[in-house]
């Protein structure tokens, strides 16, 4: 199992590339990226149900539509986000 710091995961999310077009995740899917430190903000972590770190949460219209715990590479992050956003549409 690969263990990556949350800052590395956030960088992967920020820089995730779309296989076709090389657009960033933010540009390709029109999303905003937010992060918080679960150790410094345990109340938020609890409210969001974050049980392991790193955890990626995908929101649509203020509702969690998907969650994933653990490391993913950039391509997998894009695929995960696209799949779950299309399901939530």
For 54, residues 6+ apart whose C-beta sits below 8 A from its C-beta are 4, 6, 9, 69, 70, 71
pTM of the predicted structure, to 2 decimals: 0.70
The verdict on residue 55 lying in a domain is: yes
State the pLDDT at residue 46. Answer: 93
For residue 22, count other CB atoms closer than 10 A to its CB: 9
For residue 41, is it within any domain?
yes
Helix (H) or strand (E) holding 17, with range, is none
Mean pLDDT by 10 residues, the chain (89 residues): 56 56 58 78 91 86 88 81 82
46 within a domain of the structure (yes/no)? yes
In a domain, 88, yes or no: no
| Residue 62 belongs to some domain of the structure | yes
The predicted pLDDT at position 2 comes to 43
Confirm whether 89 is domain-assigned: no
Which tokens hold the place of 35?
A: 């992060």
**Closest listed residue to residue 77, CA positions, set 21, 38, 31:** 31
pLDDT value of residue 29: 62
**Residue 58 sits in which domain range?**
6-83
The CA R_g of the chain, rounded to the nearest whole Å, is: 13
What is the count of structural domains for the chain?
1
- Predicted pLDDT of residue 68: 92
Q: What is the CATH number of the domain that holds 61?
A: 3.40.30.10
């Amino acid at each position: 199992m690969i263990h990556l710091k949350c800052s590395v995961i956030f960088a992967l999310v920020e820089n995730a590339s779309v296989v076709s077009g090389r657009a960033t995740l933010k540009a390709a899917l029109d999303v905003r990226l937010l992060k918080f430190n679960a150790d410094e903000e345990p109340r938020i972590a609890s409210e969001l149900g974050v049980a392991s770190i790193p955890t990626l949460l995908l929101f649509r219209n203020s509702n969690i539509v998907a969650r994933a715990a653990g490391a993913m590479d950039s391509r997998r992050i894009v695929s995960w986000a696209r799949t779950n956003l299309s399901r939530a549409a």
